[in-house]
Amino acid sequence: MNKLLLILIFAALTFASPAAAYLAYVSNEKGNTISIIDTDKLDVISTVKVGRRPRGIELNKDGSELYICAGDDDAIQVFDAKAQKITGKLPSGPDPELLTLSPDGDIIYVSNENDNLVTLIDIKRKDQIGDIPVGVEPEGMAISPDGKLLVNTSETTNMAHLIDTKTKTIIANILVDNRPRFATFKPDGSELWVSSEVGGTISVIDPEKKIIKQKISFDVPGMSKEAIQPIGVSITRDGSRAFVALGPANRVAVINAQTKEVEKYLLVGQRVWHLAFTPDEKYLLTANGVSNDVSIIDVANLKVVKSIPVGAFPWGVVVAPQ
């Protein structure tokens, strides 16, 4: 009898609990704010003033702190997720744009566009612990799941620089198509995807052999080639599907990550820039720079369910674990 009661209570709790609500943070480049979205309500629940020109944003492991590249303030700001306010800053060097965290969450790697450097910051000590010279206009940053390989893309040199995190030196330079802006590893670390904004392609790199093994290009019917500018890339945890933001083409391309074939183009807001999954991968959020909104993609059904107005020029987006 007790067992039955327990089962009933469990069932009631399971069915009564609403869909997982996560908090998504969107950096508004021109609004100098962070918009916080509740992914259950699919609405902005608050907007917080931060430093000037916030672009790249990243969360720490437990989602308690958000690191914001405030480009025009030449610093990375530390944002307390609970208190919803800036609690400090990290010395990034001038004009930080994109950053990535080491898998253990201790070190921030940030690209400093003006100095052609990747700067390493110890989060606990709040201090710089090194610089790695890279190509001209560094932007995209990614780290392999095991934390051994760091990747930086330089927009003008058109290279993906593969860096050994132990020795802090470049071990390979891979020439990709024009203006590489973003890099990400497949969750199992077997592939590195680099998007080229002007080249209009994704280069899929084998990190072991350090060569490009495949290139993915896009063709949106009725859209000129120049308008198709791949930027943000998100790959599902199981490595089956990838989503690529196509900038002014106002589309997100859905790619079969095994065959590398484009399956579908989803219409989102204007100049779609960066993307982020909710931790359960139910939704993918897209920051749409020109239309000042965030589109929500239903990942299972490959449908855009809503576009939510946020601040001016949304640029980056991250979703916190619960």
Q: Which residues bind other proteins (CB under 8 A)?
A: 222-223, 250, 267-269, 291, 295-296, 303-307
- Return the number of the residue (170 or 266) whose C-beta is nearest other proteins: 266
Q: Are 255 and 232 in contact (CB under 8 A)?
A: no
Minimum distance of other proteins from residue 43's CB (angstroms): 11
Minimum distance of other proteins from residue 85's CB (angstroms): 31
Dihedral class, residue 85 (left if φ above 0, else alpha if ψ from -120 to 50, else beta): beta
Of the candidates 112, 31, 106, the one whose C-alpha atom is nearest the C-alpha of residue 69 is 112
Residue 155 gets which letter from DSSP? T
- Return the number of the residue (18 or 222) whose C-beta is nearest other proteins: 222
Minimum distance of other proteins from residue 273's CB (angstroms): 15
Minimum distance of other proteins from residue 188's CB (angstroms): 32
Torsion angles phi and psi, residue 276, rounded to 5: -155, 135
Minimum distance of other proteins from residue 270's CB (angstroms): 9
Q: Are 98 and 110 in contact (CB under 8 A)?
A: yes
Minimum distance of other proteins from residue 268's CB (angstroms): 6
The full 3-state SS of 75-133, as one line of letters, equals EEEEEECCCCEEEEEECCCCCEEEEEECCCCCEEEEEECCCCEEEEEECCCCEEEEEEE
- Return the number of the residue (64 or 256) whose C-beta is nearest other proteins: 256
Q: Are 160 and 183 in contact (CB under 8 A)?
A: yes
- Return the number of the residue (154 or 291) whose C-beta is nearest other proteins: 291
- Return the number of the residue (33 or 291) whose C-beta is nearest other proteins: 291
In the chain, where does DSSP find H-type helix? 2-16
- Return the number of the residue (81 or 304) whose C-beta is nearest other proteins: 304
